[in-house]
A and B are shown apart, each in its own frame.
Chain A
């Protein structure tokens, strides 16, 4: 294990060791395929797609809460961490909760993403080691396709940057 372990790494390792079913997605997931820190893309948060089951979401929130994270939904505080009716609505709506650590970082806990459901991302996810735990990361091709499918301006810009950087590497 490296000498220093960031809050992001501690959180993902804790989720994995607790048995939470999740796949790292988004720009953070794409960064797992970078060769060096200089190749990683800047992002303000890390996206974790959890298996869309109430028990799984509840476990994820419990683990992150124990690490000092607080939660928001749509910019408002979210405190119903063990209310299965409310969590069921989050899962049913394909919603997202932001887990925010005042001192360190933000992890977006997603129950859906554009273009893929959890199972199709999880079945062939890459497995990497993080702080001694096995972490599942969506296949690079799928993470890029999800960004294409979302159609959000920031994702379109990201894909332009990704493509440009990839072609620079070919030079």
Chain B
């Protein structure tokens, strides 16, 4: 891995929002919301295209 990417990873891991034990339920909710949005768009496109 390039050193820049390694440094970026270490810097991000050290951020306060990544402390051990932080509640990350929101991450999975965000991923789920994104998938639901994609599904709604897909349905709308299918309906529009008859």
Contacts and interface: CB of A to CB of B under 8 A. Distances in A.
The range of chain B's interface size is 20 to 34
Q: Is the interface of A mostly helix, strand, loop or mixed?
A: mixed
Contacts of B49: none
A100 interface: no
Contacts of B30: 31, 37, 40
Contact of B10 (A35, A141, A145, A148): A141
A52 interface: no
Contacts of A32: 18, 24, 27
A31 B23 CA distance: 13
A166 B10 CA distance: 12
Interface in B1-40: 1, 4-6, 8-10, 12-13, 15, 17-18, 20-35
B25 A131 contact: yes
Q: Is the interface of B mostly helix, strand, loop or mixed?
A: helix
Nearest to B34: A42
A128 interface: yes
Interface stretch (A1-9, A54-62, A68-76, A91-99): A1-9
A148 B4 CA distance: 14
Given A33-B12, A139-B13, A144 B1 contact: yes
Interface of A: 1-2, 4-9, 12, 28, 31-35, 37, 40, 42-44, 46, 104-105, 126-131, 134-135, 137, 139-141, 144-145, 148, 159, 162-163, 166
23 contacts: A2-B25, A5-B29, A6-B29, A9-B25, A31-B30, A32-B18, A40-B27, A40-B34, A42-B34, A44-B35, A104-B32, A105-B31, A127-B20, A128-B20, A128-B23, A128-B24, A129-B22, A129-B24, A130-B28, A140-B12, A159-B5, A162-B5, A163-B8
Interface of B: 1, 4-6, 8-10, 12-13, 15, 17-18, 20-35
